[in-house]
Amino acid sequence: MKGFTLIEIIIFIVVAGIILPVILVPFATSVKESLTPEKLAKAAYLAQYKIEELTKNKYDSIQTESQPYADITGFSNYQWLWDVTWIDDTLNSSASDVGYKLILVKVKDPDDREIKLQTVVTRRPADE
């Protein structure tokens, strides 16, 4: 007789049940993590976009404000916040405007990782 016995088939199923998860779990994890650089790059792009949107205006029209996290239109599961504060020439917080503003932008990606970008703005000759 040719073929497999019931015992051989049961042993095969048990061995495959032990070996397959050992092989498939790392593979599935690596496939999921392969999207991480793309998500972080998109979050960095969005943070840079917001900074450029804020700094394209004249110094006096950049309002000191703090915004809570908000969804980004057109980018599902991405959120951002920005904070514009007065600082002095040593980059410490200032109670009044001495000519410097710190802009901090934070973007969260769909996996809840956060990208932070900040810049300092001051009056430019074109602002006068």
Do 92 and 107 reside in the same domain of the chain? Answer: yes
Do 41 and 28 reside in the same domain of the chain? Answer: no
Do 29 and 55 reside in the same domain of the chain? Answer: no
Do 68 and 119 reside in the same domain of the chain? Answer: yes
Q: Which domain holds residue 18?
A: 1-34
pLDDT at residue 127, rounded to an integer: 66
Q: What does pTM read for this prediction?
A: 0.71
Do 65 and 13 reside in the same domain of the chain? Answer: no
Owner of token pair 């793309």: 38
Could you tell me the two tokens for 50?
């917001």
For the chain, give the DSSP string: --S--HHHHHHHHHHHHHHHHHHHHHHHHHHHHTTHHHHHHHHHHHHHHHHHHHHTS-GGGS--EE---EEETTEEEEEEEEEEEEE-TTS-B-SS-SSEEEEEEEEE-TT--EEEEEEEEE--GGG-
Name the domain count of the chain. 2
Quick one: pLDDT band at residue 128, thresholds 50, 70, 90?
low
31-69: pLDDT as tens digits: 777 767 888 999 999 999 999 999 998 999 999 989 899
Do 12 and 61 reside in the same domain of the chain? Answer: no
